[in-house]
Chain A
Amino acid sequence: MSLLTLAGVTKFFGGLRAVHRVSFQLSEGEMLGLIGPNGAGKTTLFHMISGFLRPDAGTVTYAGKPLVGLRPHDICQRGMVRTFQVARPFLRLSVLENVVVGALERVTHRREAVAIAGEVLELTGLAEKAGSMGQSLTLPDRKRLELARALATGPRVLLLDEVMAGLNPTETGRLIDLIRAVHGRGITVLLIEHVMKAVMALSQRVLVLNYGELIAEGPPAEVVRDRKVIEAYLGEDSAGPET
Chain B
Amino acid sequence: MLRLGLGAVSGAALLILPFWIPSTWQNLLITTFYYAYLGQAWNILGGYAGQLSLGHAAFFAIGAYTSAVLASQYGLSPWLGMFVGAGLAALLSLGIGYLGFRFGLRGFYFILLTLAAAEICRLIALHLPILGGYTGLFINFTPNPWQFQFQGKIPYYFIALGFLCLACGIVWLVQRSKLGSYLVAIREDEDASEALGVNTFRYKMIAYALSAALTAPGGTFYAYFQFYLQPNTVLHINHSVDIMIRPIVGGMGTILGPVLGSFLLELLGEFSRTYFAAGVAGLNVVIYGVLLIIVVLFLPRGVYPTLVHWLRQRPGDSR
| Residue positions of A touching B, CB distance < 8 A | 50, 52, 71-73, 76-77, 81-84, 88-93, 97, 100-102, 104-105, 108-110, 113, 134, 149-150, 152-153
Contacts and interface: CB of A to CB of B under 8 A. Distances in A.
Contacts, number: 79
Interface centre among A82, A104, A149 (most CB of B within 10 A): A104
A91 B193 CA distance: 13
Contacts of A152: 196
A73 B181 contact: no
A72 B191 CA distance: 9
Nearest to B301: A92
Contact of B177 (A92, A101, A110): A110
B176 interface: yes
Given A52-B191, A108-B178, A110-B177, A73 B185 contact: no
Contact of B197 (A81, A91, A92, A108): A81
Of all A-B residue pairs in the complex, the 8 with the closest CB atoms, nearest first, are A105-B197, A76-B197, A90-B188, A88-B192, A72-B194, A101-B185, A102-B196, A73-B199
Contacts of A91: 188-189
B170 interface: no
16 contacts: A50-B195, A71-B194, A72-B191, A72-B194, A76-B194, A76-B196, A77-B197, A84-B192, A90-B192, A92-B188, A101-B193, A105-B196, A109-B178, A110-B177, A113-B178, A149-B196
B184 interface: yes
A100 B178 CA distance: 9
Given A76-B194, A90-B184, 15 more contacts: A71-B194, A72-B195, A73-B196, A73-B198, A76-B197, A77-B197, A83-B195, A90-B189, A91-B189, A93-B188, A101-B185, A101-B196, A104-B178, A104-B181, A152-B196
Which of A82, A101, A105, A110 gathers the greatest number of chain B CB atoms within 10 Å?
Answer: A101
A200 B294 CA distance: 58
B194 A101 contact: no
B35 interface: no
B34 interface: no
Contacts of B196: 73, 76, 81, 101-102, 105, 149-150, 152-153
Given A73-B200, A88-B189, A90-B188, A100 B195 contact: no
Interface centre among B177, B182, B191, B196 (most CB of A within 10 A): B196
A147 B195 CA distance: 12
B175 to A, nearest CB: 10
B201 to A, nearest CB: 8
B181 A110 contact: yes
Contacts of A72: 191, 194-195
A152 B185 CA distance: 15
Contacts of B188: 90-93, 134
Given A93-B184, A108-B178, A82 B195 contact: yes
A112 to B, nearest CB: 10
B211 to A, nearest CB: 20
Contacts of A81: 195-197
Contacts of A100: 181
Nearest to A79: B197
Counting chain A CB atoms within 10 Å of each CB, which of B184, B191, B197, B201 scores highest? B197
